[in-house]
């Protein structure tokens, strides 16, 4: 299991994507895993979003098992007690006045870029920073994917600055650092360029791509990719969430800037309807992105965490990255470094908001 080979605190502070927005429609409920426990997402009839603890504070019914949304509340299946999006009990199943003490804990949440996110802080502090809302005008709808495997968010995010693996694992050539790692609090970015032989809608050619990796904490990365000679622009979002100690779900999104003229790729594409031509290009790019991610899985699933690493010229700013990641952990954290398989789950305390 991953927690035997990666001696890191399992749940870094930060924003985590728990669902794609389209998965939770008005009046619906979802149960998801985060940090070794269930969480319940619901959207009221008017569209208000809430992420709550799964158990009713009355007598412990699980909202995600038989619960329903009624108007602007979620109703517990056990005794029909209803709670609003702020966690307050608004009614009981008996028609009696609810106690003011009846409050279900609510997670800080946000919905941006088509993703539903929660804020985790081990000491229950409110969000210290936000994920930016991107402008998607002129961009395609996303191609979405989801993967589950053993690893840690710090490990997967480290790939963004591990320049050495681009050629070895992914087969890129001519890897060039355009801007080394820059940081601003919880935000980090790096820019690089590289060559690769790619299949662009049935035509193979060697192209040079430029990338900017925008990292927001350890759970959200937006990679902006350009192929200037072909007029192509893409945005790939990578969102890792620790569901259990040593286990991740990685959600990804691929989008492209919609094109009107395809001559730089091949003039033949201009014969196609623009919607179809854009679809074919995005499909090809999303498949290439998924291929790269799956190549990383082979490494992530079996590697161990070396600390301190013995670095070599060509590695990229790995040491600087690891120093930057320390801000997402408390020095006096009570989270385990290692947890035997037989030990109970670590369950973070959640304050009411």
Structural domains present in the chain: 11-120 (2.102.10.10), 143-322 (3.90.380.10)
Q: Between 302 and 287, whose confidence is greater?
A: 287
Q: Between 345 and 291, whose confidence is greater?
A: 291
CA nearest to 249, candidates 20, 13, 50, 8: 20
Q: Between 37 and 204, whose confidence is greater?
A: 37
179-209 pLDDT, tens digit per residue, is 989 999 999 999 999 998 877 666 678 899 9
Does the pLDDT value for residue 341 go beyond 60?
no
Q: Which residues have CB under 8 Å from 350's CB, separation 6+?
A: 53, 105, 107, 124
CA distance 247 to 131: 23
- Band of residue 338 on the pLDDT scale cut at 50, 70, 90: low
Q: What Å distances lie between residue 315 and 80, 115, 193, CA to CA?
A: 58, 32, 15
pLDDT value of position 72 = 98
pLDDT value of position 248 = 94
pLDDT value of position 6 = 86
pLDDT value of position 353 = 37
Long-range Cβ contact pairs of 256-262 (< 8 A, separation 24 or more): 256/139, 256/140, 256/232, 256/281, 256/282, 256/285, 257/138, 257/139, 257/140, 257/232, 257/233, 258/138, 258/139, 258/140, 259/231, 259/232, 261/231
Q: What is the mean pLDDT of residues 236-251?
A: 96
105-143 pLDDT, tens digit per residue, is 999 999 999 999 999 999 999 999 999 999 999 999 999
316-333 pLDDT, tens digit per residue, is 999 999 999 999 999 998
């Amino acid at each position: 299991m991953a927690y035997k080979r990666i001696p890191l605190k399992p749940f870094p502070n930060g924003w985590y994507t728990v669902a794609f927005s389209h998965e939770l429609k008005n009046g619906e409920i979802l149960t998801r895993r985060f940090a070794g426990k269930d969480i319940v997402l619901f959207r009221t009839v008017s569209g208000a979003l809430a992420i709550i603890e799964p158990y009713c504070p009355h007598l412990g019914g699980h909202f995600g098992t038989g619960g329903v949304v009624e108007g602007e509340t979620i109703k517990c299946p056990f005794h029909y007690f209803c709670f609003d999006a702020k966690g307050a009990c608004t009614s009981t199943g008996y028609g009696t006045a609810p106690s003011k003490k009846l409050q279900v804990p609510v997670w800080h949440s946000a919905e941006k870029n088509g993703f539903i996110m929660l804020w985790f802080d081990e000491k229950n502090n409110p969000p210290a920073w936000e994920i930016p809302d991107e402008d998607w005008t002129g961009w395609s709808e996303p191609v979405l994917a989801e993967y589950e495997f053993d690893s840690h968010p710090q490990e997967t995010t480290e790939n963004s600055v591990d320049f050495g693996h681009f050629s070895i694992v992914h087969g890129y050539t001519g890897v060039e650092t355009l801007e080394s790692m820059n940081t601003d609090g919880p935000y980090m970015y790096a820019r690089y360029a590289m060559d690769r032989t790619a299949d662009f809608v049935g035509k193979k050619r060697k192209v040079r791509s430029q990338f900017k990796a925008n990292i927001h904490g350890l759970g959200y990365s937006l990679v902006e990719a350009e192929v200037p000679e072909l007029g192509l622009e893409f945005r790939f979002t990578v969102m890792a969430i620790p569901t259990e100690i040593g286990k991740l779900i990685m959600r990804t999104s691929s989008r492209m800037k919609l094109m009107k003229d395809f001559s730089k790729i091949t003039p033949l594409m201009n014969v196609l309807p623009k919607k179809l031509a854009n679809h074919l290009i995005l499909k090809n790019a999303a498949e290439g992105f998924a291929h790269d991610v799956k190549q990383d899985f082979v490494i992530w699933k079996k590697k161990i965490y070396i600390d301190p690493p013995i670095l070599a010229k060509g590695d990229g700013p790995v040491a600087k990255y690891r120093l930057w990641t320390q801000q997402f952990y408390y020095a006096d954290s009570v989270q385990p470094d290692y947890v035997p398989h037989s030990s109970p789950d670590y369950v973070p305390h959640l304050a009411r908001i």
